[in-house]
Amino acid sequence: MKDSAINDQAREVLQGYMARNGLKSTAQRDTIMEAFFGSHEHVAIGDLHRMVLRKNPRIGYATVYRTLKMLTECGLAVERHFGDGQARYEPQRRGEHHDHLICRACGLIVEFENEEIERLQREVAAQHGFRVESHRHEMHGLCPRCQKAPPRRR
Amino acid sequence: MKDSAINDQAREVLQGYMARNGLKSTAQRDTIMEAFFGSHEHVAIGDLHRMVLRKNPRIGYATVYRTLKMLTECGLAVERHFGDGQARYEPQRRGEHHDHLICRACGLIVEFENEEIERLQREVAAQHGFRVESHRHEMHGLCPRCQKAPPRRR
DNA sequence: CTCATTGCAAATAATTTGCATGTAA
DNA sequence: TTACATGCAAATTATTTGCAATGAG
């Protein structure tokens, strides 16, 4: 058993989900998931496809698309839209939060975490009687570099 | 001067922006902006186009698109992506925040505001040297009603 | 064997652009 | 008059689907 970017917990969730839905394990899915969970980025499908092609040049875009869809359905991936016209995905690791600072000039994305904000969020949700399952928190503006330099696209 | 959905402050921002950029005021833009600022919803371009057609059936989709783009650039509108494949826009009124609780079952959207969270946000941004221009904060989950009732689409 | 999966190409869908014509300033 | 703006249609871009061939269980 070689080491893998997919941790045991994710593997378990996945196996349960696939078993329950009669899905099959394939070499393509393994390759795609390996690449996906190995990336720290917010990957777009196209990026991931390119990464995957280096491992197996015969994997189609649609397969990457469908695999990400599957991961999203079983909760192992989260789909995000940052405003350029394409969806991005990131691995959902339990207990981690992925809040973002996004530079509108160069596209830089910085992740941050703030437990106090999380706590206040839960409070607000409670006030409205909501049961929260996930959240998204983004701030858009200019990163330090683009505040000085005449902003140029990454 | 007939009454209008566009408030004085917005009008001022707009006029400044147009003057500075050599843009011209047109009947189409007025119609579109009237409809846009009159709507409380998160409107998609298609929706807005449909609304606008009732006032002037000759206005094209592209004009609505370009007007919204302009409003976004001068900060009077905010573009959002909720995950269905289309962008939605909402009027940006200064001092108002548009944070959302979103029910995944019935689609209910509740707006909330929390000054303490805002403050912490500014703090986080400062730590990373970002100059923040706007933000988005959404919590997704189940509203009180859908926690009980077998959730059915709105 | 049986049915899910794959790769390809084609279909959708939403957004964006080119351009001839119209129009505000 | 001179740019900018408009409407249309066409181009782009991203996503999604149909289907015959393939492969997992």
Return the minimum-mean-pLDDT range out of A48-52, B130-134, B138-142, B146-150: B146-150
Determine the distance between A59 (CA) and D21 (C1') in angstroms. 15
Is A54 at the interface with chain B, CB within 8 A?
no
Determine the distance between A57 (CA) and C18 (C1') in angstroms. 37
Whole-angstrom CA distances from A14 to A5, A22, A41, A106, B110 are 14, 12, 21, 36, 33
Residue A95, pLDDT score? 60
Instruction: List the beta bridge partners of residue B91.
Output: B77
Nearest to A141 among B116, B127, B130 (CB): B130
Q: What's B8-91's CATH class? A: mainly alpha
CA-nearest residue of chain A to B103?
A130
Instruction: List the beta bridge partners of residue A91.
Output: A77
Tell me the pLDDT of chain A averaged across its residues.
87
The Cα B135–Cα B119 span in angstroms is: 12
Closest by alpha carbon to B40, among B30, B24, B51? B51
CATH architecture for the domain at B99-153 = 2-Layer Sandwich (3.30)
Shortest alpha-carbon distance between residue A2 and chain B (Å):
36
The Cα B101–Cα B132 span in angstroms is: 22
Is A131 at the interface with chain B, CB within 8 A?
yes
The Cα B35–Cα B111 span in angstroms is: 21
Q: Which of A35-49, B54-68, B78-92 is the most confident on average?
A: B54-68
B136 contacts A142? CB cut-off 8 A? no
Q: How confident is the model at residue B96 (pLDDT cuts 50, 70, 90)?
A: low
Q: Give every strand in the sheet of B77-81, ordered side by side.
A: B43-44, B87-91, B77-81
Q: How confident is the model at residue B97 (pLDDT cuts 50, 70, 90)?
A: low
Residue A94, pLDDT score? 65
Residue spans of the domains in chain B: they are: 8-91, 99-153
pLDDT (average), residues A45-50: 94
The region, left, alpha or beta by phi > 0 then psi within -120 to 50, assigned to residue A70 is: alpha
Residue B3, pLDDT score? 65
- Does any strand D atom come closer than 7 Å to the Cβ of B71? no
The tens digit of pLDDT for each residue in A93-140 reads 766 667 888 887 777 788 898 889 999 999 999 999 998 887 888 888
Instruction: Provide the whole-model pTM.
Output: 0.72
Q: How confident is the model at residue A5 (pLDDT cuts 50, 70, 90)?
A: confident
Residue B36, pLDDT score? 96
Nearest to A114 among B104, B120, B130 (CB): B120
- Does any strand D atom come closer than 7 Å to the Cβ of A65? yes
pLDDT at B151 exceeding the cut of 60: no
pLDDT at A154 exceeding the cut of 60: no
Q: Which of A126-130, B75-79, B96-100 is the most confident on average?
A: A126-130
Shortest alpha-carbon distance between residue B18 and chain A (Å):
21
Determine the distance between A65 (CA) and D19 (C1') in angstroms. 18
The answer to whether domain A8-91 and domain A99-153 are alike in fold is: no
Largest CA distance in chain B: 56
Shortest alpha-carbon distance between residue A34 and chain B (Å):
25
Sequential DSSP letters for A22-79 = T----HHHHHHHHHHHH--S-EEHHHHHHHHHHH-TT--HHHHHHHHHHHHHTTSEEE
Residue A65, pLDDT score? 97
